[in-house]
């Protein structure tokens, strides 16, 4: 996936807009049932994607390769599955959605573990700037 940092940064901005729109909707409706969804969208979808995008921008060699592309797809799937299923769980009260929320969390954990591998594999010279 060429220019992985750009994929992360653009995804972060789109998700931030969605998170803000959800917050505005909740405030205008004075219904904060979806506050946990709003928090996950902003913290995982916006902040994590943006931070990871900046990492790949700072260390472009870390983003070259298959692991970075797989990690992006896994992390994105995790966010989507988690926030949609959590929203359904909170609005319907149907426990059917609970395992899907858990699946989203597992996908996010796997994606972050892959990113950890990437960070630890990045050469020490790249991290020190030498």
| 19 exposure class (CB count in 10 Å sphere: 0-12, 13-18, 19+) | buried
In sign, the C-alpha dihedral spanning 36, 37, 39, 44 is: positive
Per-residue pLDDT tens, the chain, 130 aa: give them.
679 999 999 999 999 999 999 999 999 999 999 999 999 999 999 999 999 999 999 999 999 999 999 999 999 999 999 999 999 999 999 999 999 999 999 999 999 999 999 999 997 655 565 5
d(CA 112, CA 84): 20
What is the tally of structural domains in the chain?
Answer: 1
What local confidence, expressed as pLDDT, does residue 123 receive? Answer: 78
What local confidence, expressed as pLDDT, does residue 126 receive? Answer: 58
Q: Which domain holds residue 96?
A: 4-128
């Amino acid at each position: 996936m060429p220019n992985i940092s750009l994929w992360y940064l653009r995804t972060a901005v789109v998700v931030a807009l969605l998170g803000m729109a959800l917050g505005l909707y909740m405030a205008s409706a004075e219904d904060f049932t979806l506050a946990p969804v709003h928090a996950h969208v902003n913290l995982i979808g916006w902040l994590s994607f943006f931070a990871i995008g900046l990492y790949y921008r700072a260390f472009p060699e870390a983003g070259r390769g298959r692991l970075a592309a797989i990690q992006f797809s896994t992390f994105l799937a995790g966010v989507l599955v988690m926030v949609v299923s959590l929203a359904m769980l909170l609005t319907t009260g149907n426990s059917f959605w609970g395992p899907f929320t858990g699946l989203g969390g597992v996908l996010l954990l796997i994606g972050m573990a892959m990113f950890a591998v990437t960070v630890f594999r990045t050469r020490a010279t790249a991290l020190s700037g030498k």
